[in-house]
A and B are shown apart, each in its own frame.
Chain A
Amino acid sequence: MLPLNDVVHLAVTGLAQGCAYGLIALGFVLIYKATEVVNFAHGEFMMLGAFTVLAYSEAFGGSFWPAFVLGCLTIGVVGYLIDAQIMRRIIGQSSASIFILTVAFGFIFRSLAGIIWGWNTLSLDTPFDGQVALGGEFAIATDRLAIIVATILLCVLLYLFFSRTRYGIAMQAASQNQLAAYYMGIPVKRLVSITWAIGAIIAAAAGALLAPVTQIDTTIGLLGIKALAGAIVGGFGSIPGALLGCLLIGIIEPFADYLLPEIKGVSPYIVMLLVLFLRPEGLMKQTFKKKV
């Protein structure tokens, strides 16, 4: 058996990793709920976010927070434009074309990032250094703690946004029934674009916060696929479900990598395929079969 110290260490690592997946999955689920489009390029938003924050940070001489805010907003604008300029044109096409399109975006973003920032691994200076003691002999690295705190903070913010603000409630309405929302005078098109922007901002924030843990290169967008796997494990249609699924995947992953190094990195997919095999709708069911 593993010593307790290792278990705690792996669990904490996994918790932070799961939170990071959860942040990315939040964007997936938001966009899915608003438009029923699954944005396979969401991991690439995260990658672009990390690179943009790095670029701003270098331009500002190493100060993290202004670069963080500006970088997230930039990616938000990119997300808004992608929806307003491209995704809006292909509403009504078969979902197959739309998936293929978003996957193609992923490849374009990755290539562009590689061409602009190079293919080497870069690192970002963040204010999260050192460790925080958890009592006893256990400690948690500050950068991982930052991810966990940011996830909780963003979830609370999003919850308040969707339940208290005018825009949030309008978005909920548009998500439940677009046509009815449209008749009620809700600007559905703009709201969908804003949803894309919010998703992209969250992904960019996740990218910047993950940067000290994973470093930055063009392949970190693949984390998006793991986040998608997590969201599917939990059930794609619900935000709490997706977050839970991501936490589960995140906690399983370090243990699986530690115990079975041969399958390093693919345990999320195995878990996902298992869940899909046993419960095709995810752990929390969201679709309902129409009785004919």
Chain B
Amino acid sequence: MQVLFKTRYEDDIRFLPKTGEKIRVGLVVAFLLAAPLLLQDYYLGELGLLLVYAIAGIGLMILTGHTGQVSFGHAAFLGIGAYCHAILMSHGVPFSLSVVLTTALSGLIGMALGRSASKMHGFYLAIATLAFLMLVETLLGEWESMTGGYGGLAVPGLKVFGISLASAWQQYYLDLFFTFVVVLGAANLFRTPTGRSFLAVRDSELSARCLGVNVEWAKIQAFGISAAITGLAGVLLAHHLAYLAPDVFSVLESLKLMLMIVVGGLGSIPGAIFGAILVSLLPVALSFLKDVLPPALGQQAGLEPLLFGLIIVIFIVFEPQGIYGRWMKLRFFFETFPYYRKSSFVRQKSYLKTERMR
């Protein structure tokens, strides 16, 4: 086991304290940078989409994983981002300005929702965000003059600073750029007082309040940041979809985002990325299942939500810390071999954490 001696404050807040982590992350970054040389256009597009979902996942992770506020409505921010960007672009606003405006708008709407949600807790919040999603979906469908209604809306071609980015590798690098920005930003966030107040709110609102954290404001901030990042993901998603329809941003899409962060591991940024990888692989697994299962079962329309639901249930019941938690355990097992014990990672349970007395 590698022993870390912390002699300076910088050692304590370093992103990747261990050599092994540096090598692994370096390899991943190198692969991502070199991907256009290695992959065909189709797979490159899929990889770009994976990055977009990773961004959206990090957005939701900051809210649900790190601040402990459940939102079933994040597909709404994805939709707001995508539609707002497409509308701005088609009115001739340049890409760079449109991205900034869209992200800001999404963040502001998020803060407004967070303002109304900051006094709520637990499931009031979950249901309020769900209702918000349904309202946004209806709005996107009914506001035909603006959004094209249920008929859909075409997204203008990708053009950054006057340069048209039509080929797959150019779009991929754009996605990659924003992924780096968001991952670094999110990792940095949790070294700042703001980010740490989020963690405090998640672990116990009462003790956070006692330590002088403004709980309401922390929740509003978390909502704003989370919505802004998800809106940014929506912008990139719009260019991948090329044609927007309101039913893309439905409850199922929210469930997909939820699945990503639960399966990846709540409360960890790598978890959101693991989750995005899994969600991107699911369609492959589904088409495989459709071949393997008897046709009467394999051709059913409800297979996708069924699979999503089952994976979530299995993970929450058997591995609540997700893939990232499993990976930590595995690593710990090898690093401390042969001292790993079953009880090394036993969670401390708190029974009946009542919400009636807060």
Contact = CB atoms under 8 A, between A and B. Distances in A.
Interface string B284-319: 000000000000010011110110111011001100
A109 B79 CA distance: 27
A111 B349 contact: no
Nearest to B72: A103
A225 B320 contact: no
Contacts of A103: 72, 255, 258
B276 to A, nearest CB: 17
B32 to A, nearest CB: 29
Contacts of B209: 292
B356 A91 contact: no
A237 B301 contact: no
Contacts of B135: 266, 269-270, 273
B229 interface: no
Nearest to B303: A111
A214 interface: no
Contacts of B258: 100, 103
A185 B287 CA distance: 53
Residue of B255, B316, B349, B356 with most chain A CB atoms under a 10 A cut-off: B316
B199 to A, nearest CB: 13
A5 interface: no
Interface in B126-145: 126-128, 130-132, 134-135, 138, 142
A255 B90 CA distance: 38
A99 to B, nearest CB: 5
Interface in A174-228: 178-179, 218, 225, 228
Could you say which interface size class chain B belongs to? 35 or more
Nearest to B120: A280
Nearest to B203: A94
Contacts of A100: 70, 258, 262, 312, 316
A276 B124 contact: yes
B37 interface: no
Contacts of A104: 255, 308-310, 312-313, 316
A269 B300 contact: no
B131 A273 contact: yes
A72 interface: no
B309 A280 contact: no
B355 to A, nearest CB: 6
B262 to A, nearest CB: 6
Given A237-B356, A266-B135, A92 B300 contact: no
A101 to B, nearest CB: 5
Interface in B239-282: 252, 255, 258, 262, 266
B262 A99 contact: no
Interface string B143-159: 00000000000000000
A263 interface: yes
A289 interface: yes
A114 B313 CA distance: 19
B127 to A, nearest CB: 6
A108 B306 CA distance: 5
Contact of A96 (B68, B120, B255, B305): B68
A51 to B, nearest CB: 13
Residue of A104, A266, A269, A292 with most chain B CB atoms under a 10 A cut-off: A104
Interface of A: 36, 38, 40, 86, 89-101, 103-108, 110-112, 114-115, 119, 178-179, 218, 225, 228-229, 232, 236-237, 262-263, 265-266, 269-270, 272-273, 276-277, 280, 286-290, 292
Given A273-B135, A288-B358, 15 more contacts: A38-B126, A92-B349, A92-B350, A93-B349, A95-B355, A96-B70, A99-B122, A104-B255, A104-B308, A104-B312, A110-B305, A111-B302, A115-B303, A273-B131, A276-B116
Q: Which 8 A-B pairs have the closest CB atoms?
A: A92-B349, A111-B302, A111-B306, A269-B131, A108-B309, A104-B312, A107-B309, A280-B119
21 contacts: A36-B353, A36-B356, A86-B313, A91-B351, A93-B349, A97-B320, A98-B316, A100-B262, A101-B316, A104-B313, A105-B313, A106-B309, A107-B308, A108-B305, A114-B301, A114-B302, A115-B302, A229-B131, A262-B142, A270-B135, A272-B128
